[in-house]
Amino acid sequence: MTRDSVDGQIDVSEGSGELKADLTSCPELVAALQDDHMMWTAYNLLIQVEWIRAGGPVKRHWGSNGDVAGFIADLRAKGETYLDIQCYADDGPPFDQEQKWAYVKEFHKMFSQLGWYPNPNPNLHVPIREVGPKE
């Protein structure tokens, strides 16, 4: 992923461009990512799940966690970098199982509205923070 230094727009022409373009154009997702818990859930789903475009065999998966974190930082538009997003897993506030799965369902609903579905994977594990930040 590259940045356009002139106007701050996200370049979605590389790699997983179709998925990035669809996510970028979804105002509900961009709004949801402003919540730190939703952002953290989205980050984990994007790094762990291979997404399939409805009606075709197209699969998209980011090559690195840093690419996903940078993409989310760009969408949040809070002046964060990829490191801010990646480090949140260690320093973010805790949330419980019920809340986590509510975010997962919300995220999947947004993706399905855009025509993307997770590649079935029985080993998917979305971690949860049930304790506070590391000391």
In the chain, which ranges are continuous DSSP H helix? 17-24, 27-32, 36-48, 65-76, 82-91, 97-113
Sequence-ordered strand ranges (E) for the chain: 2-3, 10-11, 51-53, 59-60, 116-118
Residues 6+ apart with CB under 8 A from 31: none
The answer to pTM > 0.75 is: no
pLDDT in tens, 91-123: 556 677 788 889 999 999 999 999 888 877 545
Domain boundaries in the chain?
A: 17-118
* Two structure tokens written together for 93: 């506030």
pLDDT in tens, 51-60: 888 776 666 6
